[in-house]
Structure 1
Amino acid sequence: MTKSGSSNKKELLPEQREGLLKALKARFEKNMNRHEGLEWASVQAKLEANAEKLWSLHEMESTGGEPDVVGQDNKTGEYIFYDCSAESPKGRRSICYDRAALEARKEHKPHNNAVEMAADMGIELLTEEQYRELQQLGNFDLKTSSWVVTPAIIRKLGGALFCDRRYDTVFVYHNGADSYYGARGFRGSLRV
């Protein structure tokens, strides 16, 4: 994880904040198909009012996620961000699924796990449904794959789910939760 501020508080330094808002605005304007009918000024106002969520977006950005707005919750008014990098974020690869999987490995342990890494960043792993929604907005994970939220019954039996896109189709697969690969990371979501 990156160190974003001068203390343990989840706040950005002014120059980090400005840089992030500039990057998010440029991505928002370049990819209007992801959020038709939404305006950047409204998104920015919400971000500026919530330093901790801005910190989480910085974590998404600094690990290669390229977060962007993919919608708005009509009930709460919250903007929904997903990692929209073409491939699974580089700074979140070679990790197993969760802490139990990490501890179960006897040797060659990965450096981290997806569930805790997401929690530390203040984001949620995408569900299979959210992953499929993301794939409606473009072609993602053509060479990589991403862990997704795994149902408790599968996880209890030692497995975990991941997704990718091949042959113009989104596939859901299973693997041992303790497995990790250089081409597998995770994508997250954040509500602001």
Structure 2
Amino acid sequence: MKPPKMSKETSMKGAETQKKLAPDQREELLRVLSARFHKHMNRHKGLEWAEVKPKLEANASKLWSLHEMERTGGEPDVVGHDNKTGEYLFVDCSPETPQGRTSVCYDREGLESRKEHKPKNTAMDMAAAMGIELLTEEQYQELQQLGDFDTKTSSWIKAPAEMRKLGGALYGDRRYGRVFVGHNGAQSYYGARAFRGSLRV
């Protein structure tokens, strides 16, 4: 017997259900995020956890995305607040590139251009599945003003469309006390490079 076809509405509800955390996961994530928020107040001067927490509790899908960031080693934390929209900006703040996302090329087009030794995934595909965005070059530079990140690793960052059309992609790292933005072919991948993402809540 063939399984009944799911309507589009039912399918969407199923996807939403998958993006909800179990109560114990939710409470543990909120505990971890709160501890990190209070430990690194320099990243969000003037902001209060008491104002951030209700936003998280009211948005199950954003909590799920933060859980994915945490699960893959990103150590997300608040780094800003949009006064116009009221949204808080979370960014991966792990000292080195998130270890659960390494060995990925930049995007699907880059992956498919490889004839052999293809990686299992891409930075853009992983970010989309997690519900987050790759950091832009500007965001990466701003993050590096809050601490020393990627001193031994590197992270893919969002490439301008005109660069991507020419086959290139960008990555950032910190070496010798300075922040560098370099370029590679989008098909490249390395065991010491993942990507850092952002999420608005």
- TM-score by length of structure 1 reads 0.95
| Inter-partner Cα distance in structure 1 for 2:162 and 2:81 | 31
1:114 equivalenced with 2:135 (yes/no): no
Amino acid at match of 2:137: E
Find runs of 4+ consecutive structure 1 residues off by over 6 angstroms: none
Residue from 49, 52, 63 that aligns with 2:61 = 52
- What residue number does 1:156 align with? 165
Aligned to 1:3: none
**Partner residue in 1 for 2:178:** 169
**1:138 maps to what in 2?**
147
Aligned length: 186
For 1:11, the equivalent position in structure 2 comes to: 20
Hey, what's the Cα distance between the residues in 2 that align with 1:116 and 1:58?
17
TM-score normalized with structure 2 length: 0.91
Cα distance in 2 for residues equivalent to 1:41 and 1:153: 42
Question: For residues 141-180 of structure 1, what are the alpha-carbon distances to aligned partners after superposition, in whole Å with 9 as ceiling and x for unaligned?
Answer: 0000000110112111111000001111110100010000
Residue 74 (structure 1) shift:
1.2
Q: Pick the aligned partner of 1:22 from 18, 23, 31.
A: 31
Question: SS of 1:75's equivalent?
Answer: coil
Q: How big is each residue's C-alpha offset from its partner over 1:39-85, in whole Å with a ceiling of 9 and x where there is no partner? A: 11111000000000000000000000000000101111100000000
The CA deviation at 1:91 is 0.5
Q: Is residue 71 of structure 2 the alignment partner of residue 62 of structure 1?
A: yes
The residue that corresponds to 1:178 in the other structure is: 187
Q: Secondary structure at the match of 2:105?
A: coil
Whether 1:78 and 2:108 are equivalent positions in the alignment is: no
Distance 1:105 1:187 in 2: 23
In the TM superposition, 1:79-94 aligns within 5 A as 79-94=88-103
Q: Any unmatched runs of 5+ in structure 1?
A: 1-6
Q: What RMSD in Å do the two structures reach over aligned CA positions?
A: 0.8
Equivalent-residue separation in structure 2 for 1:36 and 1:14 (angstroms): 30
Q: Does residue 1:98 correspond to 2:97, yes or no?
A: no
Which of the two has higher C-alpha Rg?
Answer: 2
Amino acid at match of 1:120: A
The CA distance in 1 between the partners of 2:82 and 2:175, in whole Å, is: 30
Q: Distance in 2 between matches of 1:49 and 1:162?
A: 34
Whole-angstrom CA distance in 1 between matches of 2:66 and 2:142:
20
Q: Aligned AA for 2:169? A: A
Deviation track 1:100-146 (CA, whole Å, cap 9, x = no partner) reads 01111111111100011101100000000000000010000000000
Q: % of aligned pairs identical?
A: 74
Counterpart-to-counterpart distance in 2, 1:118 and 1:168 = 29
